[in-house]
Amino acid sequence: MQHQSKLPNIGTTIFTVMSALANTHNALNLSQGFPNYPSSKKLNDLVTNAMNNGYNQYAPMAGNLELRLAIANKYNLLYKSTYHPEKEITITAGATQAIYTIISAFVNVNDEVIIFKPAYDCYQPAIEVNGGKTIAIQLSAPDYNINWNDVASKISSKTKMIIINTPHNPSGTIWSEDDMLQLQKLTKDTNIIILSDEVYEHIIFDNEQHQSACLFNNLKQRSFITASFGKTFHNTGWKIGYCCAPEYLMSEFRKVHQFNVFSVNHPAQKGIADYMQDRETYLGLNAFFQQKRDLFLSLISKSRFKFQPSQGTYFQVLDYSEITNEYDVDFAKRLTKEFKIASIPLSVFNEEGKDDKVLRFCYAKTDETLVKAAEILCKI
């Protein structure tokens, strides 16, 4: 049988390719974005307690109410912003499911969705499988600054959605207050929906403040915010996330969500809800990851790589243009095979042909791993 593919140009992701290469060549894997240290024993015990206390059947479709209350309290604490726990917060199977469901709920055939590249690789396929058209705005290393006149020129009567991501994966940059105000100005008095991917909201450095979409009243009224407990609590394999939005948007989201996954892992939700009663479980992440960033950068300061310190996330982009002129995918593969260290080439997240000669390294690793990685990088 033969069928026409909805995603004819999609192959194996670069994350799978580089991790497989790292395994084959016994290389340090700083490519895929996950920690190599355990999640909190206290959190693990709370999830186990939830299992032992009967939280083993379906959670409510919107999610465990205690967890939604904890999320609502967090938004009030951090942003003085209110989301109704019963009507405006939904627990999801990770942020990727939230993003896919948002796009599926609103993007119709020939609708246009603006994204900023380099972009996390789940955005464009979700747009296209739903019949939408991706309108890409290419950003450039090292600053990845946004030309708002360019953004304005890309908005049309067909623009259904704009997807933003701050702190930004893969570049490690953050959006400023002015960026958010520019976005708010451009979308005011339109029907454009904002999908704000904020999965690294608790990982931001140098006393900078996370500019959440919920801080800007007009943006908040048209925005979904997606988030990830896996990123926050060092357990990406649990695949627990959530999204927040005004009720009129969330009601449409839930129409799709209920037939997509219906509900997600109940004991994990209960355990996380209990864990979040201590606000330091998420407020302490900035200092934790800044220490790792600073350690990594100090250790590679005498290498031939150039860098601007990551402003957020747990990724660091390194410029290798003074080492070689190789295509970044080829250089990343060669580093894995010959030097035993795996990274992610950024060109795969760009418009075709855009190669800034930079690689992304994940520093959500033990200090021992970072020391070993730096020793390798300093020899290249």
Q: With left for phi above 0 and alpha for psi between -120 and 50, is residue 21 left, alpha or beta? A: alpha
Q: Are residues 232 and 334 in the same domain?
A: no
Task: Collect all residues with Cβ–Cβ distance below 8 Å to 331 and sequence separation of at least 6.
Answer: 320, 324, 345, 359
User: Which tens digit of pLDDT belongs to each residue from 77-94?
Assistant: 999 999 999 999 999 999
Structure tokens that stand for 43 in this block: 């959190």
Determine the pLDDT at residue 316.
98
Which among 278, 313, 331 is the end of a domain? 278
- Residue 236 within a domain: yes
DSSP 179-233: HHHHHHHHHTTS-PEEEEE-TTTT-B-TT-----GGGSHHHHTTEEEEEEHHHHT
Tokens of 337: 């095979």
Looking at the structure, tell me whether residues 24 and 164 fall in a common domain.
no
How confident is the model at residue 3, as a pLDDT?
87
Q: Which of these three, 278, 297, 313, is where a domain ends?
A: 278
My answer on whether 241 and 364 are in the same domain is no
| Mean pLDDT, residues 279-288 | 94
| Same domain membership, residue 119 and residue 191 | yes
Write out pLDDT tens, residues 170-201: 999 999 999 999 999 999 999 999 999 999 99
2, part of any domain: no
Q: Which of 368, 203, 204 is nearest to 299 (CA)?
A: 368
262, 324: one domain: no
Q: What is the CATH number of the domain that holds 231?
A: 3.40.640.10
pLDDT tens digit sequence for 206-216: 999 999 999 99
Q: 164 pLDDT exceeds 90?
A: yes
DSSP-derived secondary structure for 63-103: --HHHHHHHHHHHHHHHS----TTTSEEEESHHHHHHHHHH
Position 94 in a domain: yes
User: In this structure, are 346 and 366 located in the same domain?
Assistant: yes
Do both 272 and 164 map to the same domain? yes
Tell me: do 157 and 171 sit in the same domain. yes
Residue 59 is assigned to a structural domain of this protein: yes
Q: Are residues 369 and 325 in the same domain?
A: yes
Place of tokens 């999609």: 10
pTM > 0.85: yes or no: yes
Quick check: is 4 in a domain? no
Q: Residue 164 domain-assigned?
A: yes
Q: Find how far residue 165's CA is from the centre of its chain.
A: 7
Q: What percent of the chain has pLDDT over 90?
A: 96
- Domain containing residue 320: 14-32+284-377
Asked if the structure places residue 306 within a domain, the reply is: yes
pLDDT at residue 295 tops 90? yes
Residue 56 has a pLDDT of: 98
Confirm whether 213 is domain-assigned.
Answer: yes
Q: Please give the average per-residue pLDDT across 231-255, as a whole number.
A: 97
Question: Residue 329 is part of a domain; what is its CATH number?
Answer: 3.90.1150.10
Same domain, 260 and 121: yes
What is the count of structural domains for the chain? 2
Q: Report the mean per-residue pLDDT for the chain.
A: 97
Binned at pLDDT 50, 70 and 90, residue 361 comes out as: very high
186-201 burial: b if 16+ Cβ within 10 Å, else e: bbeeeebbbbbbbbbb
The torsion of the CA quartet 40, 43, 47, 50, rounded to 10 degrees, works out to 160
- Same domain for 243 and 340? no
- Residue that finishes a domain, picked among 222, 256, 278: 278
On whether the CB atoms of residues 313 and 168 are closer than 8 A, the answer is yes
Shared domain for 244 and 99, answered yes or no, is yes
